[in-house]
Structure 1
Amino acid sequence: MDNYLRSYLLLFFAFLLCCICLTQCGRPSTPVGEALFKITKNKVYKELNNDSLKRYLQSYLTRPSSKFKNPNYLRNFYAENDYQPILLTKFYPDSSLFSLIDYLEQLEEHGLSKSNYRLNELKELINGLGGKDTVKNLTAVYNHLIEAELLIAESLTNYSFALQYGQVNPRRILNRYYIPVKRPDSLVFKNVLLTANLKHYLDSIQPNAKLYKRLQERLRKSRETKENRSTLIANMERLRWKYTKDSTGMVYVNIPAFELNVIKDEQLISKMKVVVGKADGHETPMLSSMIHSVQVNPVWHIPTSIATKEILVQAQADKFYLANHGIDVYYKGEKHENADSIEWSGYNKENLPYTFKQRPGNTNSLGLIKFLFKNGSSVYLHDTPVKATFNRSMRAASHGCVRVEQPLNLALAIFGEGEKYNTIKEEMGSVDPVARTIKLKPQVQVILDYFTCTEQAGKLVFYQDIYKQDSILYRALK
């Protein structure tokens, strides 16, 4: 009886184990397969094998491909996540992938092109997951899943980066753009794909600046000319670029507006006209730096380019030009004591051995004060003896530096009332001017920027695109 019972129990447990195995074999072996089968009832998803899926995805990512903007980020992300289609697993069951499609359908409202985001291909892949004609066999399933997963990752990250950082890196496409804008890195890429709630995330990254909204509304409602559209779209892209601004204190120059604003604690405290660089190779650069000092009654070390193209020509036409404008001549670092005797007609821009400095005074091209900040373009803010230029509407007339209409007011705005400001005011009024440097502590941020459209009193105000940068940006976004 014992042997019979033992045999019966062994047969019973063997039968039970077999049933369990058969039951398990009928279940999807991957989370994504389980989710897709539950929604689509396509039995082919039940056949998915986790190891095979990993091998397919890993193999796909190792192929050379020009389909992806950040292939290395993709490879690293999926390697860290065991080569699992985690986006499909998370976002197909709750239909939030269709929120991504909805937002991509609205790309043109941001001035962006749908063709850059492979929208039609993405829709076909996502919709095809539920079609039995698309995924007839296991090989087709693996290929379709992987292509859908990776294109979702590509579209989502590209869209996220464009809205939060701008579609283009301005430092790569614009001449003389030196502002250190923030750009997405591998950590940002990873965090986008690890988001838990896709709809909430997509809502959260929509630009909400007032100017951006107004540009968007103008673009959406009006039938603009191509030139006007390029202006709207270029400025929307500029607003998406991110760089550090010190809200506690900042000197902000908008080059196309020919305007300087001093901002403290996010309030405008001073505003004045400026003259900027000519659009002939002397364009004022876009940059961010810190004003560290001023030089009152500055000495102008005349650049070689200006010396050969302008100063030499003037000296050849009038031998008293240098003396009348307080310009000293130097040869190998030593001052030439008898510059009037030099026969300037014998020199040209190729063989000119002299350098020039302009002494402090009312004729100095830098005026009575210059504001100094570190940059690689040797530019600064400065006064000027030529005040008439500020009355022009078109004020692109300098060699790259920014001439300031009210330099004493600017000094007051950044130094404040006190000993240093009083010294600046006194020295600027001196009848015997001597160059003197005065440190600014704490230093104040200065930004030279470029916007051809701003908002004033709730209305859009447009400026001439003096450096033709709107068209460059517009083409890059297409």
Structure 2
Amino acid sequence: MTSHTTSPKNLYTAFILLIGLTLTLTFQSCKKSRSDMGKTLFKKTKNKVFKDVTPDGFAPVFQEVLEQQRSKLNNADIITAYYQHNDYDPVLLMDHFENDDIKNVTAYYNKAGEHGLDPKLFQPAQIDTLLHRFYDKKKLKQLDEAYRDMAQLELLLANSLINYSNALQFGVINPRRIYSRYFTATARPDSTFMKHVFEVTDFKSYLDSIQPKKPEYLALQKSLTAGYTAPGLTQEETQRVLIVNLERLRWRNKPAENRYVLVNIPAYQLDIINNGSSELNMKVCVGEGRNKDRTNTLVEYDDSDKVDRPFSRETPQLNSMINEAQVNPVWNIPESIAGKEIIVEAQKDPYYLSNKNINVYRNGKLVDDPETIDWGGASATEYSFKQQPGEDNALGKIKFLFPNKSSVYLHDTPAKLPFTKEMRAVSHGCVRLEKPLDFARALFGDGSKKYTLVEKLMGQDKSEPTDIAVSPKIPVYITYITCWPDAAGQIQVRPDVYGLDIVLYAHMKMIMAI
């Protein structure tokens, strides 16, 4: 009896052959799944031109049309790469034509106005025209024309589905590209996200699923479609306010945390949000804006308004983490304020600096007698200024710090009068708090050692600056929202104090004919 042993080399060879055979069969089965392409199209349209349609005949025509249409595609590289990798298979056409699912696409596109978007952006008319041609035996008689119409329709579907998906789930505008002072982390669609449209099995279900469903969005959407007119605004301006704020709600820049600090610049309000509800709210003062007197509106503007030209004192949009509080802070006066205000006041009154408890430094050294300086010839590059802790300190008794490129923070203020005013865009850029002690209590916890220390130090007439770590750190979002539904469902609208609605609308109008 002879024993036979298979060598590892033979086993490896057999394995490779098996894999190759499997891949070949898989590839052939994929190709075979489209072998009835022509039969499927003919059965649906009753147009004999489709009887001769084959995947091999379609592929080179599709490749040619794709190359010709590249410049008209918003995401040409992604679309081209997908079809190259998939043998130019018209997956959207063939998987959705027979069951009339493509008609669902144009139905949704035609209702894009409900989102404040122009349906033309998604080309529903062009898609419908091509669909009708498939059934027109007089217009569509040549095989090459059939191939080209199929290719055109496939590309229209791919391009429009990606555009519509991006628009509803990320917005049509990237805020980082239009705003000069926008530092909020904002996700944008990537190639993996965009390729998902090729895997959709049911267009209607998919398009339903990507409709934004947050109550705020639905409320603004309802107001837009109902023709709501806000008090003090025309219907046209109200519609445009709703459109830009619907766009803001589509941006993926919303807090993911359960608890965070939210400052809305146009509302002049701060809230600490905890699991969707405000546990603390107060008035704030924000940076002075270019449009505080509402000289520009969403109706009266020109193309130059799409360029964001922020006033030097405007508070930026940002997100960060509050990590520290400084009680009885020193105010390191910025050079811009020193030159335009401090030196000017010192020139008028030689005792202004000492009365305001401001120390003067030259080349980093404290100046003993600033009253002797001739401020008429002085500059902010030569001198620096620091206001010491005390009742007159512009930062009040406490400031709350978080890393950011703009050197802004939340702080107390001795100037309480602006909190009684409706228009509170009056600061140099930082956010002044109406109730800083309440804010500290919320951050540190009532009765905690840190809060007790804060309360004690803030109650003293004079004290050295004391840094207290905020732990755990709490996220802070400084945002810009001019329209929202309140708790009772009423639409609230605030003046566009920085003119950022105008900038956004101008860019949206540039993309589509609103």
Task: Give TM-score scaled by structure 1 length.
Answer: 0.91
Counterpart in 2 of 1:272?
282
Determine whether 1:292 maps to 2:323: yes
Counterpart in 2 of 1:229?
239
Write the distance in 2 (CA, Å) between the matches of 1:29 and 1:433.
81
Counterpart in 2 of 1:86?
91
Write the distance in 2 (CA, Å) between the matches of 1:332 and 1:153.
64
SS at match of 1:79: helix
Instruction: Structure 2: give runs of 5+ residues left out of the alignment.
Output: 1-31, 230-234, 291-310, 510-514
Deviations 1:39-69 (A, max 9, x none): 0122221222322322222233334743111
Write the distance in 1 (CA, Å) between the matches of 2:435 and 2:199.
52
Report if aligned partners of 2:220, 2:484 keep a CA contact under 8 Å in 1: no
Counterpart of 1:46, as a letter, is K
Structure 1 residue corresponding to 2:382, chosen from 353, 374, 377 = 353
Counterpart in 2 of 1:177?
182
- Pairwise mapping of residues 282-431 of structure 1 onto structure 2 (< 5 A)? 282-348=313-379, 352-417=381-446, 418-431=448-461
Counterpart of 2:281, as a letter, is K
Counterpart of 1:106, as a letter, is K
Report if aligned partners of 1:157, 1:192 keep a CA contact under 8 Å in 2: yes
Report if aligned partners of 2:220, 2:485 keep a CA contact under 8 Å in 1: no
Q: CA RMSD in A?
A: 1.7
Counterpart in 2 of 1:156?
161
Flag the 1:177–1:444 CA change in 2: closer, same or farther, 3 A.
same
Structure 1 residue corresponding to 2:466, chosen from 419, 423, 436 = 436
SS at match of 2:322: strand
Counterpart in 2 of 1:258?
268
- Pairwise mapping of residues 459-470 of structure 1 onto structure 2 (< 5 A)? 459-470=490-501
Deviations 1:143-176 (A, max 9, x none): 1111110011111111111111111111111231
- Pairwise mapping of residues 23-102 of structure 1 onto structure 2 (< 5 A)? 30-63=35-68, 65-102=70-107
Instruction: Structure 1: give runs of 5+ residues left out of the alignment.
Output: 1-26
Counterpart in 1 of 2:480?
450
Counterpart in 2 of 1:212?
217
Deviations 1:69-92 (A, max 9, x none): 111111112122221110001111
Write the distance in 1 (CA, Å) between the matches of 2:385 and 2:265.
29
Task: Give TM-score scaled by structure 2 length.
Answer: 0.84
Aligned-pair identity in percent equals: 42
Q: CA deviation at 1:469?
A: 1.7
Q: CA deviation at 1:32?
A: 3.5
Give the number of the structure whose alpha-carbon radius of gyration is greater.
1
Counterpart in 2 of 1:6?
none
Report if aligned partners of 1:256, 1:466 keep a CA contact under 8 Å in 2: yes
SS at match of 1:66: helix
Mean CA deviation greater in 41-50 or 452-461: 41-50
Mean CA deviation greater in 270-279 or 63-72: 63-72
Q: CA deviation at 1:426?
A: 1.0
Write the distance in 2 (CA, Å) between the matches of 1:296 and 1:75.
59
Write the distance in 2 (CA, Å) between the matches of 1:127 and 1:372.
62
SS at match of 1:445: strand
Deviations 1:299-318 (A, max 9, x none): 11111111111111111111
Flag the 1:29–1:360 CA change in 2: closer, same or farther, 3 A.
closer
Mean CA deviation greater in 122-131 or 167-176: 122-131
Counterpart of 1:397, as a letter, is V
Report if aligned partners of 1:246, 1:445 keep a CA contact under 8 Å in 2: no
Counterpart in 1 of 2:112?
107
Report if aligned partners of 2:266, 2:494 keep a CA contact under 8 Å in 1: yes
Report if aligned partners of 1:179, 1:287 keep a CA contact under 8 Å in 2: yes
Deviations 1:225-262 (A, max 9, x none): 22111111111111111125144211101110000001
Write the distance in 2 (CA, Å) between the matches of 1:191 and 1:28.
21
Report if aligned partners of 1:164, 1:207 keep a CA contact under 8 Å in 2: yes
Count of aligned pairs between the two proteins:
450
Flag the 1:47–1:451 CA change in 2: closer, same or farther, 3 A.
same
Report if aligned partners of 2:325, 2:468 keep a CA contact under 8 Å in 1: yes
Write the distance in 1 (CA, Å) between the matches of 2:336 and 2:401.
21
Write the distance in 2 (CA, Å) between the matches of 1:246 and 1:443.
15
